[in-house]
Amino acid sequence: MVRNISIILLITYYSSSALLAQVNIRDSTIFTPLIYATYNYQFPGGDLSRQFGSNSSIGGGFMLKTKSNWIFGVEGNYMFGQSVKNSDSLLLNISTREGFIIDANGMYAEVVYYERGFNFFGKFGKLIPVLSPNPNSGFVILAGAGYLQDKIRIHNPGNTAPQLLGDYKKGYDRLNGGFALNGSLGYLYLSNTRLLNFYVGFDFMQAWTKPYRLRDFNTGKQDTRKFNSQFYSVKVSWFIPLYRRVPKEFYLY
């Protein structure tokens, strides 16, 4: 037990020393870990575009940039939007002729529809130091593979409609998920002073998903379709590099 603790402490010590090593980003390529927050504005394509309009996603990730400017990392995002197409027919079999849901009080229930989902990817790529202030900035090409899931969130304020509670609501949300590929092209800027570090670029996702619910209550049958969908995104990220700058030299006369 003591031996295992000693090994863990040694690994932690040397890892911390490596992360805190003083480097000069202005003059040479460096190895550095990077943590970041990111925002995407997304436009759907393929099968998904028949269900949702444009949406946003927020998330974060962790990357390692090597001295030879190769990049490896992981990223996760939460997707959200308010543009749900054909929502008037989603609850058709429990609606009145006019398309309203009657709640437990005998009133018309308010029902709001949202897009919700998430994705995560493992990524790798290459930084090309062109039009950059130092050899650690420039154009970045990334590719990745991972998982994507999305659904329709059906919200009834106050939960006044028992038809849309618990498992009943799940029968209409069209939850689906599956394997996805990701590619992006953009510009990474790591400033010489560490004050400004960002990425701006274009992102693409290709997803092959399938429904997860055993029964679609709108049709009364299991949905066995396969979906082929895309996301086209404008992406902005804010980076925090985990390295220490070389201290400035001062001369006294």
What are the boundaries of each domain within the chain?
Answer: 2-245
Tokens of 151: 């659904």
Strands 22-23, 244-245: pairing kind: parallel
Rounded mean pLDDT, 4-22 = 43
pLDDT at 99 over 90: no
- Taking only the tens place, the pLDDT of each residue in 182-205 is 999 999 999 988 789 999 999 999
Q: Give the fold, CATH level 3, of 2-245.
A: Porin (2.40.160)
Q: How confident is the model at residue 175 (pLDDT cuts 50, 70, 90)?
A: very high
pLDDT at 10 over 50: no
Average pLDDT, the chain: 88
Is residue 129 within 8 A of residue 138, CB to CB? The reply is yes
CA gap 204, 181 in Å, rounded? 8
pLDDT of residue 24: 74
- Taking only the tens place, the pLDDT of each residue in 125-154 is 999 999 999 999 999 999 999 999 999 999
pLDDT at 31 over 90: yes
pLDDT exceeding 90 applies to what percent of the chain?
Answer: 72
> Which DSSP string corresponds to 79-137?
EEES-BTTGGGTTGGGS-TTSPPB-TTSSBPP-EEEEEEEEEEEEEEEEE--S-SSTT-
Rounded to the nearest angstrom, the gap between the alpha carbon of residue 236 and the centroid of all alpha carbons in its chain is: 12
pLDDT of residue 193: 80
Bridge partners (DSSP) of residue 222 are none
